[in-house]
Amino acid sequence: MNVAAVDRAGVRVVTLDNPPVNAISFAYSAALVATLEAAEADTGVHAIVLTGANGLFSGGADINDFTTAPAAGTKTIRDVIATVEKSAKTYVAALEKTALGGGVELALACDYRIAVAGTKFGFPEIKLGLIPGAGGTQRLPRLIGAQDALQMMLKGDNLDAEEARKKGLLDEVVASDAVAAALALIARVRERAPKRRTSARRTELGIAGLALFATPFVVAQAHKMVPPEDRGGFAAHKLVDAVEASIELEFPRGLAREYRLFDELVRSAPSAALRHVFFAERELGKIPGLEPAAPPAISSAGVVGAGTMGTGIAIAFANAGIPSVVIEPNDDQIERAKQMVFGMFAHQVQRGRLTQEEAWERGQSIRFENELGELAQADIVVEAVFENMEAKKAVFAQLDAIAKPAAILASNTSTLDIDALAAMTKRPERVLGLHFFVPANIMKLLEIVRGKDTSAETLATAIALAKTLRKVGVVSANAFGFIGNRMLFDYARAAIGLAEEGVAPERIDRVMKDFGMAMGPFAMFDLSGLDVFWHIEQGNPQVRSRSAIVDRLYREKRFGQKTGAGIYRYEKGSREPIPDPVTIELLREEAAKAGIAPRPDVSDAEIVQRLTGALIAVGEELVRTGVALRPGDIDIVYVYGYGFPPHRGGPMWYASEQLAHA
């Protein structure tokens, strides 16, 4: 940790140097304040340039500092910015590569901002259940307008330098050497009135045709556009309140309002849960016994099967710049897969996320063939055929004879035994599971399943590949259902158990969506297919429901959306679930046969308790038996892969919080 200060003709260049991301922690804030105060006291210094070492400006405040309140006298990023704000000298921020959160707030306090092309700017605080807490909600609206500021802070996404310049966040974008450009700017403005503090500006709504008297209407609309406070929108509503303060209050009072709202959020349960998810994700790569050395890179891939999953996996490889060969014996299926690839990349072009050239290059990186022999040179081959053990074993036996000795063989199975597949090869140390989630090119979760013989190098390569694919890779031991689906089956059984007792499926779904789940359990069954659940039940009696309702639905071909009827019914061409009296009658009949008495007194709280309790009980077992390394790993799986509300931290965090407040 260091703060470098160099004078250049009356300009002091202060360099933030706190690897790896120049975080402005409590300890670093004290050093920065001392450096800036020294510059202020030096009569030979008339301007200060703030820049960053390590090829970037700053990743913002240190999130670890949010867990405890600063002791009396502790310097924080607010003190750093206050030192800049009260200065009579000119400040210029020279930005490169990344400026996030508190780093942007520090730049906003300066008179001018210059960035190298390609620099990224963002306020990710909302993803941690927070708002910018060092003046960002007051300065950004004054600089770029309330509407653009709200959009930037509510989304938590990054702007590139050119877009930031167009919005007014930056004064200049240069090809290189932002410090040199900052020195040149200071020389140009020295003879003029140089100070341009953002705090002295007035916030404009930023919406054409609306004057400030329209503020209450605009604020009310903003509150309507974000989720309710108890559905993950707690910080979003506080953010709207803070931006409203920038419109209605003088800067000092608006700043005080922001500080109060931020400090309230830091102590809130949703933010604590979201910060838990953040830190749990950081822990994922820490695997006992795994050396930190860089594993071999994956430069080419193969995929067996061109169904929805296999094609999605190929698209994920293409998006990461890894060419792939997809093997599919059925020419009609290949044509459908090609249409899927074309449609996906065309959609990205329409959304402005890819250029035509980029889309073409990615599409061309996927090659479709009929014969497995085309996979001979692939660094990794992912099998994505039908979820049937015998079919998958046959594929692995063939791949072992075809793939080069160093190639990794991976299965996309969601439940099957990785060791049984590895036993079909002469390279069990190069075999593992890579369980992608549908749609594979979009869903961030990737379960990495370690077999008993999977080598450390193979596992490390898979973990690195997950990062290359921009996936969140969670390591699981080889066990039925791994982490996610093993827990899902007990969750499903609990939901069916409630329905067997007479609780309407649509009520169960509504209660769980109100809890924050992305989808209710029965809507999820219909989406994935009740036939899939039936097949899993056949070989695994531990996940069977008490009655024969799943058998009954299967016999009547009520598979869900794919057949137009499952738990719900569906109009042709629609995915909207419609409650179906037929299902209620089937549930009643099968429950009666099984001797299950109806319970009219089941409360909403009991529905939540029984369903989350099922997840928690299995999660505890998975940690105890070593299938999951940490409770946080389970939380990541359920937040990223199964729609568990992030503001509740995942099932294991939720359990610990419930216990703490019992």
More confident residue, 532 or 578: 578
**How many helices and strands in the chain, by DSSP H and E?**
26, 17
Q: What is the pLDDT of residue 540?
A: 74
pLDDT tens for each residue of 478-533: 999 999 999 999 999 999 999 999 999 999 999 999 999 999 999 999 998 888 88
Place of tokens 């079909």: 424
Identify the residue with better confidence: 3 or 308. 308
Averaged pLDDT of the chain: 92
Full-model pTM? 0.92
Q: Find the mean pLDDT for residues 311-316.
A: 97
Q: Which residue has the tokens 């093997």?
A: 327
In order of start, what are the domains of the chain with their CATH numbers? 2-266 (3.90.226.10), 301-481 (3.40.50.720), 485-626 (1.10.1040.50)
The strand pairing partners of 476, in sequence order, are 449, 628
Instruction: Give whole-number Cα distances, 416 to 129, 304, 413, 480, 539, in Å.
Output: 37, 17, 6, 6, 11
What are the residue numbers of the active site?
105, 125
User: How high is the pLDDT of residue 7?
Assistant: 77
What is the per-residue pLDDT for 203?
Answer: 83
The three-class DSSP label of residue 199 is helix
CA nearest to 13, candidates 176, 182, 171: 182
CA distances from 371 to 241, 287, 302, 327, 410 (A): 61, 37, 12, 6, 18
Q: What is the mean pLDDT of residues 162-190?
A: 93
Q: Are 641 and 443 in contact (CB under 8 A)?
A: yes
Instruction: State CA 544 to chain mean position distance.
Output: 33
**Tokens read off for 112:** 């001018």
How confident is the model at residue 211, as a pLDDT? 52
pLDDT range class, residue 544, cuts 50, 70, 90: confident
Give phi and psi for 442, each to the nearest 5. -115, -50
Pairing of strands 431-436, 445-450: antiparallel
Q: Computed from CA positions of residues 30, 32, 38, 41, in that sequence, does the dihedral angle turn out positive or negative?
A: negative
Contact between residue 372 and residue 396 where contact means Cβ atoms under 8 Å apart? no
Does the structure show a pLDDT above 80 at 220? yes
Phi, psi of 190 (to 5 degrees): -60, -35
Tokens of 218: 């605009």
Tell whether the model's pLDDT for residue 271 goes beyond 80. Answer: yes
According to DSSP, residue 127 is labeled: G
For 178-189, give the DSSP string.
Answer: HHHHHHHHHHHH
Percent of the chain topping pLDDT 90: 80
Bridge partners, 238 (sequence order): none
| Percentage of the chain exceeding pLDDT 70 | 97
Higher pLDDT, 208 or 214: 214
Span of 3-12, 50-59, 296-305, 459-468 with lowest mean pLDDT: 3-12
As a whole number of angstroms, the distance between CA 487 and CA 494 comes to 11
The 3-class secondary structure across 203-219, one letter per residue, is: CCCCCCCCCHHHHHHHH
pLDDT by residue (tens digit) across 64-87? 888 777 788 889 999 999 999 999
Query: How high is the pLDDT of residue 194?
Result: 61
One-character DSSP codes across 417-483? -HHHHHTTSS-GGGEEEEEE-SSTTT--EEEEEEPTT--HHHHHHHHHHHHHTT-EEEEEES-TTTT
Which amino acid, 177?
A: D
Q: Find how far residue 429's CA is from the centre of its chain.
A: 31
pLDDT at 287 exceeding the cut of 50: yes
Q: What is the DSSP string of 537-550?
A: HHH-GGG--SSSHH
> Which of the pair, 261 or 188, is modelled with greater confidence?
261
Q: If we measure between CA atoms, which residue out of 142, 466, 131, 157 comes closest to residue 287?
A: 466
Residues 18, 235, 197, 256, Cα dihedral to 10°:
-100
Confidence category of residue 592, pLDDT binned at 50, 70, 90: very high
> Over 90: is that where the pLDDT of 311 sits?
yes
More confident residue, 439 or 661: 439
pLDDT-derived band at 369 (thresholds 50, 70, 90) equals very high
* Segment holding 326, helix H or strand E: strand 324-327
Average pLDDT rounded to a whole number, residues 138-160: 92
Q: Over range 351-375, report the average pLDDT.
A: 94
pLDDT tens digits, 395-434: 999 999 999 999 999 999 999 999 999 999 999 999 999 9
Q: What is the mean pLDDT of residues 175-192?
A: 90
Looking at residues 352-378, what average pLDDT do you find? 95
- Please tell me the predicted confidence (pLDDT) of residue 559: 94
* Cβ-contact 440, 447 below 8 angstroms: no
254: left (phi over 0), alpha (psi -120 to 50) or beta: alpha
Mean pLDDT of 635-643: 96
H-helix segments, 132-177: 136-144, 146-155, 161-167
Are 268 and 125 contacting, i.e. CB atoms less than 8 angstroms apart? Answer: no
Give me the mean pLDDT over the 95-104 stretch. 95
Give the strands of the sheet with 472-477, arranged side by side: 366-369, 324-327, 301-304, 380-383, 408-411, 431-436, 445-450, 472-477
Helix (H, G, I), strand (E, B) or coil at 53: coil
At which residue do the structure tokens 């459908």 appear?
Answer: 336
Q: Which residues 6+ apart lie within 8 Å of 452 measured at CB?
A: 419, 478
Alpha carbon 106 to its chain centroid, in Å, reads: 26
Name the token pair of 573: 């061409």
d(CA 448, CA 92): 46
pLDDT of residue 218 exceeding 80, the answer is no
- C-alpha to C-alpha distance for 499 and 248, rounded to whole angstroms: 52
Q: Reduced to 3 states, what is the DSSP secondary structure of residue 301? A: strand
pLDDT higher than threshold 70 for residue 208: no
Residue (of 274, 226, 275, 217) closest to 63 by Cα position? 275
- Asked whether the predicted pLDDT for residue 158 surpasses 50, the reply is yes
Taking residues 543-551, report their average pLDDT: 87
Note the pLDDT of residue 662. Answer: 67
The residue that leads in pLDDT, 108 or 55, is: 108
Question: What CA–CA distance (Å, rounded) separates 199 from 348?
Answer: 39
Residue at 122: amino acid letter: G
Average pLDDT over residues 144-161: 91
pLDDT of residue 209: 47
Highest mean pLDDT: which range of 214-223, 322-331, 542-551 = 322-331
Q: Is the pLDDT of residue 111 over 80?
A: yes
